[in-house]
Amino acid sequence: MSEGLCRRCGAFGGMDHGWVEGDCILPHKNHSAATVGHCCAWHVERHQAWLGEIAELYDDLPDVVDEGSVPDDTAEHKHTKRPASPALMRLEAWSMVNDSDHLWAAGDVSADSRTWDGDGILGRNYLRGLPDVSAVMGSWAQGCVDSLGMTFIVSRRVSANAALLKTHAEHIATQPWVDDYDAELGWLRRCLRRAHGITDPEPLAPCIDVTNGRECHGMVWPGQPPKCDRCGRKYNTLDLVRLKKTAIDAKREAG
């Protein structure tokens, strides 16, 4: 067996691992067994945690509208690198509370509300822009109810639908649309966090580690100390200087 060769899918080095029957169908850096329907237990628990966070962040949106601009609400001027003037309110939070006519209601297990192109592929606007949180959550809650064989119509209350979806998280993991559900929950959470001024950490740069002639292909994340999420290499000050120079050189060559 070649060094570093995956026994399940044949991937080696920095290659992405391929899905194999019995794996969790949701994104993983490596193989993880599907132990709850099509998913692993970790993803089911993550869905439940996301639902609680989505409900809380949505309920608190009106309270942050008047707090003024956050970095994501400003844009650079066209001809300079100077940021535009801050807004007097948080624009994304205001839109998600008061401008439902211009929000996206992509979440729908029947896919009727999505934008499809001529080849039957989801269009470029899918999961872009600001979501109508109430509509998206309501459509997934109704899809869950329908798949359970129930006949009632769910409300548009985000907290109520989050509770319903949390209760039936393991059932949802058995449904063929769980991958779309996972993507749209992530979209809701990401947009709500941004509207609150909560930004997720970003990687510093691709890892520069080379082992046995093979590049790592992981990403270096900030921390004490910064660390690669693939090979685990820890970066000291001198390493970070090399990392920055490598990233600059790669950008220059690409551009």
| pLDDT 10s digits, 105-117 | 765 444 444 444 4
What pLDDT score does 254 carry?
63
Percent of the chain whose pLDDT exceeds 70: 77
* Residues paired with residue 206 on neighbouring β-strands, in sequence order: 219
Buried b (16+ CB within 10 A) or exposed e, 8-38: ebeeeeeeebeeeeebbbbeeeebbebebbb
What pLDDT score does 178 carry?
95
**C-alpha angle with apex 111: 105 to 112, nearest 5 degrees?**
75
- Asked whether the predicted pLDDT for residue 4 surpasses 50, the reply is yes
What pLDDT score does 37 carry?
95
What pLDDT score does 250 carry?
72
- Asked whether the predicted pLDDT for residue 53 surpasses 90, the reply is yes
Q: Which residue has the higher pLDDT, 14 or 29?
A: 29
Q: What is the pTM of this model?
A: 0.68
User: To 10 degrees, what angle do helices 41-64 and 133-147 make?
Assistant: 150
DSSP 8-class letter at 234: B
Q: What is the DSSP string of 10-45?
A: ---TTPPPPP-TTB-SS--SS--B--BTTB-HHHHH
pLDDT bucket at 76, cuts 50 / 70 / 90:
very low
Q: Is the dihedral of CA 109, 114, 116, 121 positive or negative?
A: negative
- Asked whether the predicted pLDDT for residue 90 surpasses 90, the reply is no
Report the half-sphere exposure of 180 (CA within 13 A, side-chain side). 18
What pLDDT score does 27 carry?
80
| pLDDT 10s digits, 125-174 | 567 778 899 999 999 999 999 999 999 899 989 999 999 999 999 999 99
Give the chain's mean pLDDT: 79
* Nearest CA-CA partner of 54 in 21, 87, 7, 96: 96
